Amino acid sequence: MTEAPNPARMTPDPIAGLEGVVAATTHLSDVDGENGVLVLRGRRIEDLAGKMPFEAAVQHLWQDLEVSRAFSLQTDFARARRAAFAVVPILEKAAATLPVYEYMQLGLAALPMTDDIPEPIAISGALPVFLAAAYRISAGEKPIAPDLSVGSAADLLHMLTGEEPTKYFADALDRYLVTILDHGLNASTFTARVIGSTDAGLKQAVLGAMGALSGPLHGGAPGPVLDMIDAIGTPDAAAGWIDAALARKERLMGFGHRIYRTRDPRADVLKDGLRILGEENPKVGLAEDIEEAALVALKRAKPDRPLDTNVEFYTAVLLDAVGIDRTLFTPLFAVGRTPGWCAHVLEQQKYGRLIRPASQYVGPAPE
């Protein structure tokens, strides 16, 4: 999951990456790549992240979907956590060597769907439980039962550590989860919509989307971002390290984006969160110096291609400052993005149309 992308596999063929192809109409989110603006159901990301808990942002995103009308998401996400915790013994029987991400997929696959909790809530609410339980099981520790009196972010931190988190840390995690809630037709959301269009269940769509998210070109980048920051070590070493990496044709993790031709607005939302955390954290200053050096080097190396900071760079720095282990960065991304995937699947299913594009055959003609 944290392997660097293989440049030999990259192809300049635009068809292979569907660049510029509009493949869905959506009321959920809009990514304006030229101007660096992200809108979720009519509100800019800056008006949501850091301004409300995760559940309230989900309620905002889901406002037109049947699921959120009759429910209080804070209460119902808590009920979903309790239901998920009943599945945790299955995780304890799995091989202790599984990565946390695969434990989460296993837990989700084993989660029974009942009439008590609507599927999007059951699935979205469950993942924090599986994440925390998997982390503790893989460390040889006992899973901690959810605390139903708090929100998903605070409870996730509590289930990881067994301690009540500070308000600052819980707010920072809420900010992160809201920041990544939805983002147009990214690779994992497209995957979810394709699976949803076959009328496969919501759980299948989320499991498939999790697979798409795990790659280093998508949700697998923030762990390697932190590895890069650690490898650089000091501000003085940044420029030399980065130039050497670019000379080896490596990609700098946390930079570049398929849609943004300017700064990813989510990077600044998370950077603001670091300021609010107000910690005397030397890694934050180092990260800012590395970012500055990377932007200079990328501009020099790729003058024709605007490459700027993406969400993953400050994801790594923020989650690290909250004390979250880097192996949990991609699992946490899945926690935050799951309500977005669910909403897209439900939206796609309203059209009742199977997604089935065409391919262009360039193989040999039959003899």
Binding residues for ligand ACO, per CB under 6 A? 5, 10, 17, 217-219, 221, 251-258, 302, 305, 307, 310-312
Of 32 and 147, nearer to ligand ACO (C-beta) is 32
Residue with Cβ nearer ligand ACO (81 or 175): 175
Closer residue to ligand ACO, CB minimum distance, 3 or 163: 3
| Strands of the sheet with 37-40, listed across from one edge | 29-32, 37-40, 43-44
In the complex, the smallest distance separating the C-beta of residue 217 from ligand ACO, rounded to whole angstroms, is: 4
CB 308 → ligand ACO: shortest distance, Å? 10
Smallest gap from residue 177 Cβ to ligand ACO (A): 14
CB nearer to ligand ACO: pick between 31 and 67: 31
State the catalytic residues.
257, 312
Min CB(180)–ligand ACO separation in Å = 7
